[in-house]
Amino acid sequence: MKRLFLGLTLSMLVLVGGLAGLAAYNIYQFTTPIEIHTLTTPWTAKVDRANPLPEYPRPQLRREHWRNLNGLWQFVVTDRHAQMPKQYEGEIVVPFGIESLLSGVEKALLPTERLWYKRSFDAPSLQADHRLLLHFGAVDWEAEIWVNGIRQGIHRGGYDPFTFDVTDALHESGEQELVVAVWDPTNLGPGAYGKQHLVPHGIRYTAVSGIWQTVWLEAVPASRIERLTSKTNLAARKVTLRIDTSGADPGDEIEATVTAGEEVVAVERAVIAQEVALLPIVVEVLHHWSPENPHLYDVRLRLLREGKVVDTVDSYFGAREVGVAKDSSGISRLFFNGRPVFHLGLLDQGWWPDGLYTAPTDEALAFDIEMTKRMGFNSIRKHVKVEPARWYWHADRLGLLVWQDMPTGDGGADRYRQVMRQATDILSNLIAGVSWRGLDRSIESADMFQAELSSMIDYLEFFPSIIAWVPFNEAWGQFDTNTILLAVKVRDPDRLTGGPSGWFDTGTGDVLDLHMYGREADFISELPRDRAVVYGEFGGLGLPVEDHLSVDDGWGYAAYENGRNFESAYLNLLSVIGSLKPLGLSGAIYTQTTDVESEINGLITYDRRVIKIPPERLLNRNRQVISTD
């Protein structure tokens, strides 16, 4: 009997070991490095190298006096620990990552290296008691700044904007010198890096290093408006504006003038207290913002001191409410503006073959959102990437519900550790029912994640299109889950907080988020009824389009050889999604908007030149799924 038990135990160990080995091998094969071929987009040739992306970069807070610093800068790559160089090796187009075609360099930056930028600029004449701010939309990953040889500071984090007041470093006249030093460890560092990888493979893409969003100067008064956020109460027909200021004196006021088109609908004033003013805006007929009617109110804010205007900014807001509530059948649903709304959307990576993280033009930046709308979707899941502010402004004005992911970070695990970690965790869960144990992140990495998550919310909470925060995706870097999800909910109770998207749910968050590839019909009936249930990812149907591929051999979760079969498979999946709505499915995000490098599962090719299914054939079918009960 003992011998039989030992035999069974050894057999089980061999079986489990074999399964673990097979899983590890398959994942390893999936992580095999790929060779990527350069593609262009319809906008590549439209980029003005001397003046790329000239649009005002911060639509949520607009001032008149600013200057764009995008264009041709000098650059050089040195050892990471080298001193500031005296010689530079060539020109780079800002704001495109050094690895991209549009940068004019197309050179990988290693963690052992440092990228230096240099340019000169003419400082504007400043009025008395005014300051000159130097803004960076985003730099990946660590940026150290000097103006005229005077160090301004350092910023870590590749996705949030940051600013330095450079007034005191300026020469009285003539050219000013700006130097930026960048170190980027990508997936080997402590911070967030999204889907970037030093060795592109599978679902990991070409790394992006350096300045990848607009750099600009802004002349501002010393006492000024810094930030605007809003909170909606539809029942009271009220939107409360919160205005954060800097340098306000006791007794200073904020005045808000709200317009709908040419009509002034409200004028309110409030005294600033501890640098903050709260202004309730009550409108007799309050227009709600929604995907069907993305109504935005314009607002002009003025900081007043003894009746005189000190600062003026222009902005906007949308009135909308988001939540989870039970429908008439007692099923928890995603509610929007007081009624259940099914979210049908696309997983949006936001990658470009010519600019990588950076769209070549503002027209291109809006293109994916416009196509998503034309296809009849009402939602976008912005996947482990944060976009420039203008992307969210396009989503606001066009009307799409945005689920915003936190970019992935795992504290610098190399790909072999990732392979074995994923294989053993998945097998433990499948065979023994072992729950997700969470990643053991270093103190530095854990602190960095929480700092970058907080910065992302600070940056994006203005935009009405964002209706959900998704801190974790598929256990990538997932740790201390419940604590972090609860902290996000406390930080922003007026938006949804998604549970971990896919894989290892811990029972926390407004949404139970499942990833269903190839088994979309296997809806589980025994689900908690206190949270809305969504498919955070599904589909992933692959269709290669010849002459529009950036790899020799792409992949999808299912492969099709022609557009007819591809379209039929998508429509069949759509029917399955529609059939699950009565059972409790509240939303579904199809993978994905475009192909990206080796992934060929987009509805649009990576170069944005081919739409795989004509939008007019998707429009009504997608809308039917959204609208039918």
Instruction: List the domain range (segments joined by +) for residue 252.
Output: 224-317
Residue 48 covered by a domain: no
Residue 275 covered by a domain: yes
Residue 277 covered by a domain: yes
CA–CA dist 556, 562 (Å, integer)? 14
Are 71 and 191 members of one domain?
Answer: yes
* pLDDT for res 16: 46
| Residue 260, pLDDT above cutoff 70 | yes
Are 85 and 134 members of one domain?
Answer: yes
Are 160 and 302 members of one domain?
Answer: no
Higher pLDDT, 27 or 184: 184
* pLDDT for res 19: 44
Contact (CB, 8 A) for 263 and 285: no
* pLDDT for res 436: 58
Point out the domain boundary residue: 292, 317, 342.
Answer: 317
What confidence tier does 440 reach under pLDDT thresholds 50, 70, 90?
A: confident
What confidence tier does 418 reach under pLDDT thresholds 50, 70, 90?
A: low
Are 181 and 299 members of one domain?
Answer: no
* pLDDT for res 417: 60
pLDDT digits (tens, 9 = 90+) for 120-153: 999 999 999 999 999 999 999 999 999 999 999 9
- The percentage of residues in the chain with a pLDDT greater than 70, rounded to a whole number, is 90
Q: What would you report as the CA-atom Rg of the chain, rounded to the nearest whole angstrom? A: 25
Are 217 and 234 members of one domain?
Answer: no
CATH assignment at residue 162:
2.60.120.260
297-305 and 253-260 as β-strands: parallel, antiparallel, unpaired? Answer: antiparallel
Higher pLDDT, 330 or 363: 363
| Residue 4, pLDDT above cutoff 50 | no
Are 169 and 180 members of one domain?
Answer: yes
Q: Quote the tokens at residue 597.
A: 């490098």
- Region 6-16: mean pLDDT is 39
What confidence tier does 8 reach under pLDDT thresholds 50, 70, 90?
A: very low
Per the structure, how many domains does the chain have? 2
Query: DSSP strand E in 444-485: where?
Result: 466-470
Identify the burial level of 323 via C-beta atoms within 10 angstroms of its C-beta, where 0-12 means exposed, 13-18 middle and 19 or more buried. middle
Distances (CA, A) of 320 to 41, 231, 398, 459, 524: 36, 9, 15, 19, 32
Are 259 and 129 members of one domain?
Answer: no
Higher pLDDT, 469 or 411: 469
Concatenating the DSSP letter of every residue in 169-218 gives G--SSSEEEEEEEEE--GGGSSS--TTEESS-BTTBEE---EE-S-EEEE
| Residue 419, pLDDT above cutoff 70 | no
| Residue 1, pLDDT above cutoff 80 | no
CATH assignment at residue 292:
2.60.40.10
pLDDT digits (tens, 9 = 90+) for 171-191: 998 899 999 999 999 999 999
What confidence tier does 217 reach under pLDDT thresholds 50, 70, 90?
A: very high
Rounded (10°) CA dihedral 625, 496, 194, 414: -110
Are 282 and 143 members of one domain?
Answer: no
Q: Quote the tokens at residue 550.
A: 């950036």
Are 165 and 280 members of one domain?
Answer: no
Are 199 and 213 members of one domain?
Answer: yes
* pLDDT for res 5: 34
pLDDT digits (tens, 9 = 90+) for 73-88: 999 999 999 999 999 9
| Residue 116, pLDDT above cutoff 90 | yes
What confidence tier does 35 reach under pLDDT thresholds 50, 70, 90?
A: confident
Are 206 and 305 members of one domain?
Answer: no
The secondary structure element, H or E, covering residue 587 is strand 585-591
Point out the domain boundary residue: 317, 337, 369.
Answer: 317
Residue 143 covered by a domain: yes
Point out the domain boundary residue: 221, 252, 271.
Answer: 221
* pLDDT for res 475: 83
Residue 94 covered by a domain: yes
Contacts of 226 (CB under 8 A, 6+ apart): 244, 245, 246
Residue 600 covered by a domain: no
Q: Distance from first CA to last CA of the chain, Å, rounded?
A: 59
pLDDT digits (tens, 9 = 90+) for 566-593: 999 999 999 999 999 999 999 999 999 9
Q: Lowest mean pLDDT of 94-108, 156-170, 279-293, 409-423, name the range.
A: 409-423
* pLDDT for res 33: 76
| Residue 409, pLDDT above cutoff 80 | yes
* pLDDT for res 293: 97
| Residue 396, pLDDT above cutoff 70 | yes
Q: Phi/psi zone of residue 612: left (φ > 0), alpha (ψ -120 to 50 degrees), beta?
A: alpha
Residue 98 covered by a domain: yes
Contact (CB, 8 A) for 260 and 286: no
532-539 and 585-591 as β-strands: parallel, antiparallel, unpaired? Answer: parallel
| Residue 252, pLDDT above cutoff 50 | yes
Residue 323 covered by a domain: no
Q: Which amino acid is at 27?
A: I
Are 233 and 205 members of one domain?
Answer: no
* pLDDT for res 15: 41
